[in-house]
Amino acid sequence: MKIIKILMVVFTLVSISSQGISGEKTISLAVLDWKPYAGEELENFGFGSKILTAAFNRVGYEVTFSFMPWVRAIKDTEIGIYDAVCYGYYSDKRAKIYALSNPFVESTLVFCKHKDSNISYHSLQDLKPYRIGIVRGYVNTVQFDAVEYLKKEEAGNETLNLKKLLNKRVDLILIDKFVAQYLINTIFYKNKSDFEFIVPPLKIHPLYVMFSRKVKDYERKLKDFNNGLEQIISDGTRIKILESYGFTEDKE
């Protein structure tokens, strides 16, 4: 009888422990070091990460961020190593591979030129003569990525593209405006006046959390995030976070 009682106690403790583990609400995010949206050494990992954390916290999740190159982030998330990958533009291909959240912030995609250049454009056809720096693995716009008549030169990240533009190794770069402003103000501040944005922006992209379809309960996690996001948008938390970092979103 004593042995049975002991076994029952052990079983109960194991059961409670298992429930505790399975009941934990955590989310693992693969994140590109994409300042000022996200950066391992930034306060709260950047303003975009703070928005994500606020939305997940609102519905009871603890969040972990793992920083890595973009190509690895999307591949590792696709196979289920991470719950989701952040800061993705929409594409039909991505929507088939991942479950996309509601957009949580916007990215203004602009062409940046050297001040010595007089480049302007009304359509992509106007840019045929120029070398355009882009980042390897990024989705830009459907039209831009599809056209073959443009001279696109890939680099590993935006910093390298800004260096190439400064040294006139490319004529233009395609870059997120917040990212460009951050990098120019922190890395290229001595040459700040050498960079100019071309108006209008090529595209204002909503940014999404892309959930892995290989992770258990991904649909519930997606639904929970969208719920938390709706709450922080409704009560003004999201816009307050954005403004606290000195940013406002452009409108097309």
> In this structure, what are the phi and psi dihedrals at residue 183, rounded to the nearest 5 degrees?
-65, -40
Q: How confident is the model over 159-178, as pLDDT tens digits? A: 999 999 999 999 999 999 99
SS3 153: strand
pLDDT at 251 over 90: no
pLDDT-derived band at 252 (thresholds 50, 70, 90) equals low
- The residue among 108, 93, 149, 89 whose CA lies nearest residue 125 is 149
pLDDT-derived band at 104 (thresholds 50, 70, 90) equals very high
- The residue among 102, 44, 62, 42 whose CA lies nearest residue 233 is 102
Query: Percent of the chain having pLDDT more than 70?
Result: 89
Element (H, E) at 186: helix 177-186
| Domains of the chain listed by start with CATH number | 25-105+207-244 (3.40.190.10), 107-204 (3.40.190.10)
Q: pTM of the full predicted structure?
A: 0.75
Question: 34-62 in b/e burial notation, b at 16+ Cβ within 10 A?
Answer: bbbbbbeebebbbbbbbbbbbbbebbebe
Q: Give the range among 22-26, 42-46, 114-118, 231-235 with minimum mean pLDDT.
A: 22-26
Q: Is 98 left (phi over 0), alpha (psi -120 to 50) or beta?
A: beta
pLDDT at 5 over 50: no
Q: What is the pLDDT of residue 235?
A: 97
Q: What is the pLDDT of residue 14?
A: 35
